[in-house]
């Protein structure tokens, strides 16, 4: 998960208090457990012999996940001299990577540098490399070193803890992501743990309880800084009121824009639209910029650290479709009371059954009684939805739907293995996540959908689906009859089906050059492995997905815009893909605003700029109703009557203008 910067006062203290490492054993082996959701999902083993390290890292994420072996030679400062890695990446592509004498090569990139002080960050890295980077930074006089292929890293101490009688220290490394990355080291300055509510790696034997202890510790330290940063970036308008003039206002009801419009906001509500003024208020001259309701991302798995990315992208409301219950409830509170910069959150409880492919959730449901206990836990917390995952027993689905509806929760999800989309609709689904499950409805021989076959089958055969066939027409009619919503996540499949190693993914090509160097590298990794001779079929499958979504739209099926990918920026691409599919831009903007609010029964307070509604809106330097890509040109975001300058937010997270 992403962490935020450390204040200058703490940085100065940290640098003066950096402990010197004790002498490490000449030879040692360190073993780690990797936890993802409810089950132990992986392992890392580090064998040390002098300056040489062999690292094995693997985990199983529903049939995906890396399996890597790396040999790393370090100098006396812990800076890598050589690296050789082989194995499989997350999508099971073969990888072979090397670094020696300043030259690096992999399937995705190659280059050379003469800077022997720089740390090479491998493209297919193991968690151990975080520890190596941290140790090298601590040994550096200024705790700062350049990175290869690009960027710079620094390290700051947060605090320490004792785990099973072992003293450990938490640091954050700046320069690997949008915000600093936390890492726990032992007293030899070797990796002890890297933890988050979503996934954690920790020394073997320490266990989940110790990982949770460290999560709570680092969260407490990080929150103090995050709150201070949020206070600096959140602008409280003069007189607790805002008057926007000369706006081109988009109305998602009529799909039209009205020029020279005045919008008056008092507190966190819109007081009037079209006329009015408040003398003691902050006045914003839109100068003809387009004003739209705040955007909704209807498929996120978010955290405190991603809130700024979402707001900077104009997303003032988001639906979290699966997370650690306690962590996401705490995040929602911080966003709601504006302690942290972030959108309003609507929460879904992600449930799954026990299997080798159990998803990353602790809400395990193998019986009716299990689900009643889940509802008893999440319903009082204000969860709005149940999300069913792939290992839920099909025979439980009707019960889950009935009980959820009885408690006022919507029902959506993946299609459990052994079911098809039409079964799920009849069993009570209100919504289906991901367009691949719609395609699998017509591939009745694909019965195991808990593993990557649910992607691969569609990539290889999806282009053959006849959208004019009686079967497809009948299925679309079924969706319409049951008012079933589609959350297609087209950008996810664009990346899976059409991204190729060594080339920036088309999903992120428009913004890659603006992002931090180490983030930008990730867009070169490609998507699913493509068998020889099937490149065009994979691309055609994604094109057919777009056509299917257009068919749904034309037949009155409600579509919601969700991402399930990089926070913020991916939503803009999702909207571009809807337009590419043939849906008019004003309709797409309605989908991402009023349409989403209506699906979540919040259209009485959100989704349009109207008198009495919440003051959640965005100013765009362009007209996305005629050019949807102008949605990338957001200059100002107002959420809950508070003002955010997008340029300021971008600078904070390292995004270039």
Q: Tell me the per-residue pLDDT of 547-583, one tens digit each, with 9 for 90 and over.
A: 999 999 999 999 999 999 999 999 999 999 999 999 9
Owner of token pair 């879904």:
348
Q: Is the peptide bond before 183 cis (omega within 30 degrees of 0)?
A: no
pLDDT score of 39 more than 90? no
Tell which of 290, 312, 328 closes a domain: 290
For residues 31 and 134, membership in a common domain is answered with yes
* Dist CA 476 CA 494 (whole Å): 23
pLDDT score of 14 more than 90? no
* Dist CA 397 CA 271 (whole Å): 45
pLDDT score of 232 more than 90? yes
Tell me how far CA of residue 336 lies from CA of 25, 221, 246, in angstroms: 49, 21, 30
In this structure, what token pair is assigned to residue 102?
């300043």
For residues 53 and 191, membership in a common domain is answered with yes
User: Does residue 628 sit within a domain?
Assistant: no
pLDDT of residue 105: 96
Q: Tell me the per-residue pLDDT of 463-475, one tens digit each, with 9 for 90 and over.
A: 999 999 999 999 9
Yes or no: say if 473 and 548 are a contact pair by the CB < 8 Å rule. no
User: Does residue 392 sit within a domain?
Assistant: no
For residues 72 and 195, membership in a common domain is answered with yes
Q: Domain holding 217: CATH number?
A: 2.50.20
Mean pLDDT of 265-293: 97
For residues 204 and 245, membership in a common domain is answered with no
Mean pLDDT of 181-195: 96
pLDDT score of 37 more than 90? no
pLDDT of residue 412: 98
Mean pLDDT of 620-642: 98
Q: Say if residue 98 is exposed, middle or buried (CB neighbours under 10 Å; 0-12, 13-18, 19+).
A: middle
For residues 271 and 215, membership in a common domain is answered with no
Mean pLDDT of 128-138: 97
Q: Which of left, alpha, beta for 428 (phi over 0: left; psi -120 to 50: alpha)?
A: left
pLDDT score of 55 more than 60? yes
For residues 206 and 178, membership in a common domain is answered with yes
User: Does residue 423 sit within a domain?
Assistant: no
Q: Give the chain's radius of gyration (CA, Å).
A: 25
pLDDT of residue 496: 97
User: Does residue 140 sit within a domain?
Assistant: yes
pLDDT band per the 50, 70, 90 thresholds, residue 62: confident
Residue 364, CA atoms < 13 Å, CB-side half-sphere:
12
Mean pLDDT of the chain: 93
User: Does residue 1 sit within a domain?
Assistant: no
pLDDT of residue 36: 86
Tell which of 252, 269, 290 closes a domain: 290
Q: How many CB atoms are closer than 10 A to CB 51?
A: 13
Which one-letter DSSP state was computed for residue 352?
B
* Dist CA 594 CA 252 (whole Å): 6
User: Does residue 541 sit within a domain?
Assistant: no
Q: How many domains does the chain have?
A: 2
For residues 22 and 134, membership in a common domain is answered with yes
In this structure, what token pair is assigned to residue 619?
């100013």
Mean pLDDT of 218-227: 91
Mean pLDDT of 620-644: 98
pLDDT band per the 50, 70, 90 thresholds, residue 198: confident
Selection from 194, 200, 202 nearest residue 176 by Cα: 194
Tell which of 232, 248, 267 closes a domain: 232
Burial 18-46 (b: 16+ CB within 10 A, else e): beebeeeeeeeebebbbbbbbbebbebbb
Q: Domain holding 251: CATH number?
A: 2.30.40.10
The residue segments making up the domain with residue 134 are: 8-232
Q: Tell me the per-residue pLDDT of 379-413, one tens digit each, with 9 for 90 and over.
A: 999 999 999 999 999 999 999 999 999 999 999 99
More confident residue, 20 or 203: 203
pLDDT score of 539 more than 50? yes
Alpha helices in 510-614 (DSSP H): 517-521, 535-554, 569-581, 585-590, 596-599
pLDDT band per the 50, 70, 90 thresholds, residue 41: confident
For residues 117 and 67, membership in a common domain is answered with yes
For residues 57 and 117, membership in a common domain is answered with yes
Yes or no: say if 122 and 85 are a contact pair by the CB < 8 Å rule. yes
Owner of token pair 């999800």:
413
Yes or no: say if 384 and 356 are a contact pair by the CB < 8 Å rule. no
* Dist CA 492 CA 199 (whole Å): 21
Selection from 186, 187, 190 nearest residue 136 by Cα: 190
pLDDT of residue 27: 56
For residues 88 and 59, membership in a common domain is answered with yes
For residues 244 and 211, membership in a common domain is answered with no
| pTM check: above 0.85 | yes
Tell me how far CA of residue 138 lies from CA of 11, 132, 151, 299, 514, in angstroms: 13, 10, 18, 39, 29
User: Does residue 213 sit within a domain?
Assistant: yes
* Dist CA 124 CA 88 (whole Å): 9
User: Does residue 195 sit within a domain?
Assistant: yes
Q: For residue 276, give every residue at least 6 positions away whose Cβ sits within 8 Å of its Cβ, in sequence order, or none.
A: 243, 262, 264
Helices (H) and strands (E) in the chain, counts: 18, 30
pLDDT band per the 50, 70, 90 thresholds, residue 15: very low
For residues 103 and 148, membership in a common domain is answered with yes
pLDDT band per the 50, 70, 90 thresholds, residue 99: very high
How far apart are the two ends of the chain, measured CA to CA in Å? 24
In this structure, what token pair is assigned to residue 511?
């913004």
């Amino acid at each position: 998960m992403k962490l935020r910067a450390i204040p200058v006062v703490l940085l100065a203290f940290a640098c003066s208090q950096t402990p010197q490492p004790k002498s490490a054993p000449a030879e040692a082996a360190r073993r780690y457990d990797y936890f993802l959701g409810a089950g132990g999902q992986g392992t890392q083993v580090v064998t040390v012999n002098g300056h040489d390290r062999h690292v094995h890292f693997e985990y199983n994420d529903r049939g995906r996940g890396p399996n890597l072996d790396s040999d790393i030679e370090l100098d006396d400062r812990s800076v890598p001299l050589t690296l050789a890695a082989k194995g499989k990446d997350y999508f099971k592509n073969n990888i072979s990577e090397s670094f020696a004498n300043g030259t690096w090569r992999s399937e995705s990139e190659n280059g050379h540098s003469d800077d022997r002080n720089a740390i090479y960050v491998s493209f297919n890295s193991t968690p151990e490399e975080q520890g190596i980077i941290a140790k090298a930074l601590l040994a550096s006089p200024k705790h700062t070193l350049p990175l290869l292929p690009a960027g710079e890293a620094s390290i700051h101490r947060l605090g320490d803890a004792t785990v099973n009688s072992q003293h450990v220290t938490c640091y954050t490394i700046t320069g690997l992501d949008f915000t600093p990355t936390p890492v726990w080291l032992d007293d030899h300055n070797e990796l002890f743990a890297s933890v988050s509510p979503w996934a954690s790696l920790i020394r073997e034997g320490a266990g989940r309880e110790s990982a949770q202890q460290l999560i709570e510790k680092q969260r407490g330290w990080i929150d103090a800084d995050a709150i201070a940063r949020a206070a600096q970036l959140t602008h409280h308008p003069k007189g607790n009121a805002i008057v926007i003039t000369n706006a081109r206002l988009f109305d998602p009801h009529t799909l039209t824009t009205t020029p020279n419009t005045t919008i008056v906001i008092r507190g966190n509500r819109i007081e009037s639209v079209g006329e009015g003024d408040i003398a003691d208020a902050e006045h914003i001259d839109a100068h003809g910029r387009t004003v739209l309701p705040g955007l909704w991302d209807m498929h996120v798995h978010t955290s405190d650290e991603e809130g700024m990315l979402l707001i900077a992208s104009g997303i003032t409301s988001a639906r979290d479709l699966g997370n650690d219950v306690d962590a996401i409830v705490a995040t929602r509170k911080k966003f709601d009371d504006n302690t942290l910069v972030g959108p309003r959150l609507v929460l879904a409880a992600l449930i799954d059954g026990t299997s080798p492919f159990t998803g990353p959730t602790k809400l395990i449901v193998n019986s009716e009684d299990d689900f009643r206990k889940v509802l008893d836990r999440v319903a009082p917390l204000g969860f709005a939805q149940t999300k069913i995952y792939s290992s839920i027993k099909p025979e439980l689905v009707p019960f889950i739907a009935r009980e959820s509806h009885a408690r006022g929760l919507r029902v959506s999800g993946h299609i459990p293995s052994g079911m098809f989309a039409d079964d799920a609709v009849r069993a009570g689904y209100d919504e289906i996540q991901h367009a691949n499950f719609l395609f699998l409805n017509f591939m009745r021989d694909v019965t195991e959908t808990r593993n990557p076959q649910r992607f691969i089958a569609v990539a290889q055969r999806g282009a053959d689906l006849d959208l004019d066939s009686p079967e497809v027409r009948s299925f679309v009619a079924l969706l319409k009859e049951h008012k079933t919503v589609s959350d297609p996540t087209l950008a996810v499949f664009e990346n899976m089906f059409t991204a190729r190693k060594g080339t920036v993914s088309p999903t992120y090509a428009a913004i890659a050059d603006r992002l931090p160097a180490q983030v930008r590298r990730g867009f070169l990794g490609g998507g699913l492995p493509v068998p020889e001779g099937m490149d065009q079929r994979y691309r055609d499958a994604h094109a057919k997905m777009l056509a299917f979504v257009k068919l749904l739209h034309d037949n009155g099926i409600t579509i919601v815009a969700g991402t399930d990918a990089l926070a913020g920026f991916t939503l803009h691409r999702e909207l571009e893909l809807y337009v590419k599919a043939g849906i008019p831009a004003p309709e797409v903007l309605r989908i991402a605003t009023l349409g989403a609010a209506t699906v979540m029964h919040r259209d009485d307070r959100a989704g349009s700029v109207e008198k009495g509604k919440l003051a959640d809106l965005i100013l765009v330097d362009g007209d996305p109703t005629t050019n949807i890509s102008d949605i990338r040109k957001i200059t100002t975001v107002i959420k809950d009557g508070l003002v955010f300058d997008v340029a300021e937010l971008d600078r904070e997270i390292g995004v270039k203008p």
